[in-house]
């Protein structure tokens, strides 16, 4: 059993399997740490733009799960031993349109104008890959987000902060972008990039982690 030490803050969580996060996202790392999950990082080298161009005709939830599993398999090629690889991909959907990360400031402006004052859906696909068996378990979580109306000045200011440029939907709810979020329906952590409650239950279901009294 990979149990925590006596001095660990999270002594009630025990780890039976090494957990590897296949993501370089600082937001996903921070979310996992906040939940007391011990993990190492093996970032995926998957070309997401190329993958999406080849498989982008799928339903948004299927696309997000497919991307997450492709990331997990890619990371699995560079790790050894018994472990569970966790990978995720988040997409923003407005109507039937999938909105990715902005290519440049002009694109970010178009995205934010599109989202302003409307409700969109954030979908995160999650894949858990058990190695060395190669068995995968996947799911997706959707959250509806309603943005407040944004003026052109608001959008110029926000883009000027640089925050929108590496985020799906061109905003970060956990940062300055939260100033323009009026309401969410569903998981907050899902919008940040990783649905913690659902992931925790999935890891428990695999026997990777255990809570003991």
Residue 41, classified by CB atoms within 10 Å of its CB into exposed (0-12), middle (13-18) or buried (19+), is: middle
Is 89 tagged catalytic?
Answer: yes
Catalytic residue selected from 89, 96, 104, 154: 89
Pairing of strands 40-41, 18-21: parallel
d(CA 46, CA 71): 6
d(CA 84, CA 39): 10
In DSSP terms, 142 is beta-bridged to 123
Which residues have a catalytic role annotated? 89
């Amino acid at each position: 059993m990979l149990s925590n030490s006596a001095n660990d803050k999270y002594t009630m969580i025990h780890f039976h399997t090494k957990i590897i996060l296949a993501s370089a996202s600082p937001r996903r790392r921070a979310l996992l740490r906040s939940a007391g999950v011990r993990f190492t990082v093996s970032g995926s080298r998957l070309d997401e733009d190329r993958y999406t161009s080849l498989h982008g005709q799928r339903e948004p939830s299927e696309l997000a799960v497919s991307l997450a599993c492709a990331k997990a398999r890619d990371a699995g090629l560079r790790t050894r031993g018994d472990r569970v690889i966790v990978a995720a991909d988040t997409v923003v959907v407005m109507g039937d349109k999938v909105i990715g990360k902005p290519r440049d400031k002009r694109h970010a402006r178009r995205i934010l104008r599109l989202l302003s004052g409307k409700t969109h859906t954030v979908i995160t696909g999650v894949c858990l890959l058990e190695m060395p068996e190669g068995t995968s378990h996947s799911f997706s979580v959707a959250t509806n987000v309603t943005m407040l109306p944004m003026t052109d000045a608001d959008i110029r200011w926000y883009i000027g902060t640089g925050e929108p440029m590496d985020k799906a939907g061109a905003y970060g709810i956990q940062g300055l972008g939260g100033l323009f979020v009026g309401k969410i329906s569903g998981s907050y952590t899902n919008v940040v990039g990783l649905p913690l409650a659902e992931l925790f239950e999935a890891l428990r279901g695999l026997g990777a982690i255990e809570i003991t009294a």
